[in-house]
Structure 1
Amino acid sequence: AEFVYDSISSASTQLLAVEILQSLQGGKVIIVTPADEKAMAQSKVEGKPKVEVANILGLGSHPAYRCVSENLAAHLGDEDGYVANGSITLNRVQVVEGGLENIEQALKANKEGVSGVKVVIRPHEA
């Protein structure tokens, strides 16, 4: 099966992800915001490969899991938390400036085997 993880999940990126998967005979789009109506309609167009659009749940955003996320946040971020006392070490980051226009630069860094660094782009930067 083919998958697209849409970490931006705007209306236009959801629709694009659906169209890409339809050109590849179907698959699943994973989004981080509520599904866009146009993307949902496109995913079910008669005569086109079926594409499922599914939202992933952030742990802290659902009331049923609040007891877990609040406890985790308290242990991670407090003055004596896991980050502060060194039990958890955060990744170093390498920010590629310029938003999506410089995505190739970010991908190149990954392909060249950047090590111990999380390559970050900020999609909404101009």
Structure 2
Amino acid sequence: MNEGKIIKFYREKYKMTQEQLGKGICSGTHISKIERLHTEYAPEIITLLSQRLGINIENELIKLNTIKNRLNHWHDVIVMQLFDEMNLINHELEQEDLIQISDYINLYKLLRVRYLLIHNLTEEA
């Protein structure tokens, strides 16, 4: 299910149209349905699309699926005021592009504001 979200994220990141991505694999209409989670698809299609985008879909799925656990851990570290670990997790999450398409983007934004306020970065918060 998340494969479509990941495909769309990287397609847009690389400024490709659905037709460009699907050329020789499937139609742009089929890509649209995959991205919107409105169709079933063969795993081979996802593999071919992933190769064209230069990503490993299995690794991307793992990264996307671990975001919630990372955010919960960051919350605990913020509450306990473990500054070194807090800063490290903040840096890791800032580098994680997939957080933008995760189901936990709002939790990330709230924790990020809390993190910034703890560091007296009120303008950025």
TM-score bucket (shorter structure): under 0.3
Q: Structure 2 length as normaliser, TM-score?
A: 0.25
Q: Higher strand proportion, which one?
A: 1
Q: Higher helix proportion, which one?
A: 2
Structure of higher CA gyration radius: 1
